[in-house]
Structure 1
């Protein structure tokens, strides 16, 4: 579980990050990273998992896995200048991907956008 201070909840921040942030794609997910204009506060992370990924059980499993994986990478985001905002969008292949594949895709994409 991500701490409440690191959760991205408002749609304006999601929209800002997806439209103006740096992006990296992989077979299972797309990562968007941007710095908030205010530049203050902790790094925040949000997830987008659509119905194309699978039914509710599959979508929730993908979200839990991604939350756990991003929690491990949070210290890397805190070290960025300003206040980082990360949006992880799961692609349909994420529903059937094993945990290790999600982990390697997320690690590779985060290294490219940071």
Structure 2
């Protein structure tokens, strides 16, 4: 399970990451990353990186969507420590994610994060 401090919950945070952040697409998912630098929080400690997930009905029925969501949560949990402090990450599953194997989702997530972070592996 993803720790509470690393969960993206508010709609505004999802919108910020998806509209203002950078995007990297892979065959089974799209990753949005917003730098998270807040000019209003000068002198305050940086917040931890937070991640959220979007798994629509296009991925499959409820069982398939929940399986994809659990897999993505497990994958991002191991990678959240390598993300910049204060960053917002939204992982959006594409319709093929329901049929993808766990290791394929892991490769897609790693490739997208590597591209967004400029070659630095999380």
TM range (shorter): over 0.9
SS in 1 for 2:34: strand
In the other structure, the counterpart of 2:27 is 27
TM-score (normalised: structure 2) = 0.87
Count of residues paired in the alignment: 111
In the other structure, the counterpart of 1:46 is 52
Question: Using the alignment, how far apart are the partners of 1:107 and 1:94 within structure 2?
Answer: 15
In the other structure, the counterpart of 2:36 is 36
* 1:40-80 Cα shifts (integer Å, max 9, x gaps): 31100000000000000000000000000001111111xx2
In the other structure, the counterpart of 1:103 is 106
Superposition CA RMSD, Å: 1.1
In the other structure, the counterpart of 1:91 is 94
Structure 2, unmatched stretches of 5+, are: 118-122
SS in 2 for 1:30: strand
Question: Using the alignment, how far apart are the partners of 1:7 and 1:95 within structure 2?
Answer: 22
Question: Using the alignment, how far apart are the partners of 2:80 and 2:24 within structure 1?
Answer: 17
Q: Is the 8 A contact 2:22 2:32 kept in 1?
A: yes
TM-score (normalised: structure 1) = 0.93
SS in 1 for 2:2: coil
